Amino acid sequence: MNQIIRENLSISVNTIDLLNDQIKKEAKASAMYLAMASWCDQNGFEHSANFFYEQSSEERDHMIKIFKFIIDNGGIAYSPEVTQINHEFASILDVYKTALHEEINVSKSIQKIFLNCRKENDVASELFLQWFINEQLEEEQKMRHAVKIYELHGEDVENLYAIDKRLATS
Ligand code: FEO
């Protein structure tokens, strides 16, 4: 990044670099969820498809939120390139397990940036990230709930579609 711009920042330079990495992760999550929506749609899980369309959109919102935070504070935000999105899943349980795994990784990444802000006394960024930490807990819970339900009741094929409907209203 341009040195003059960096000298006039109200948040740490290191944080900006880490947040640009986080933008890539949010964009990847958004694309992954779109692929999951497609798989769910093709396999008759229409409620889960809607769920993942919404999740994809939420992840894009997260990306934009970080993007604007960087720009509003004098940094340069980079539009991410997203490649190698998986479209193949073994089952609906596999879809939700993959989504849970993704959310846990994103949570760890956010927490790492948060702790780095604390180390560098970047209070503004720490406060900004507080919202993401809470949001991640909610998202993990949603995925964990779906994994648990499919693990407990998903052996019977008929049940798979009943669960799909039930999860949409839970
Ligand atoms: Fe914005 Fe759930 O990662």
Please give the pLDDT value at position 5.
55
pLDDT at 6: 58
Mean model confidence pLDDT for the chain: 92
Comparing CA positions, the residue from 86, 88, 84, 22 lying closest to residue 59 is 22
Q: State the Cα–Cα distance between residues 124 and 79, nearest whole angstrom.
A: 23
The reported pLDDT for the residue numbered 73 is 94
Task: Express each pLDDT in 125-147 by its tens digit.
Answer: 999 999 999 999 999 999 999 99
Residue 27 three-state SS: helix
Range of the domain at 22: 2-169
Q: What is the mean pLDDT of residues 56-60?
A: 98
Q: Which residue has the tokens 């003059």?
A: 4
Query: 73 by DSSP, 3-state: which?
Result: coil
**Whole-angstrom Cα distance, residue 13 to residue 18?**
9
Pocket of ligand 1 (CB under 6 A): 26, 29, 59, 62, 103, 106, 136, 139
Number of separate domains in the chain: 1
Atom of ligand 1 nearest to the CA of 59: 1
Q: Which of 16, 123, 14, 132 is nearest to 74 (CA)?
A: 16
CATH code of 43's domain: 1.20.1260.10
3-state secondary structure of 45: coil
Report how far ligand 1's centroid is from the alpha carbon of 138 (Å): 10
Ligand 1 geometric centre to CA of 3 (Å): 31
136 CA → ligand 1 middle, Å: 6
Ligand 1 centroid – CA 145 distance (Å): 16
For residue 97, the model assigns a pLDDT of: 97
E strand spans, the chain: none
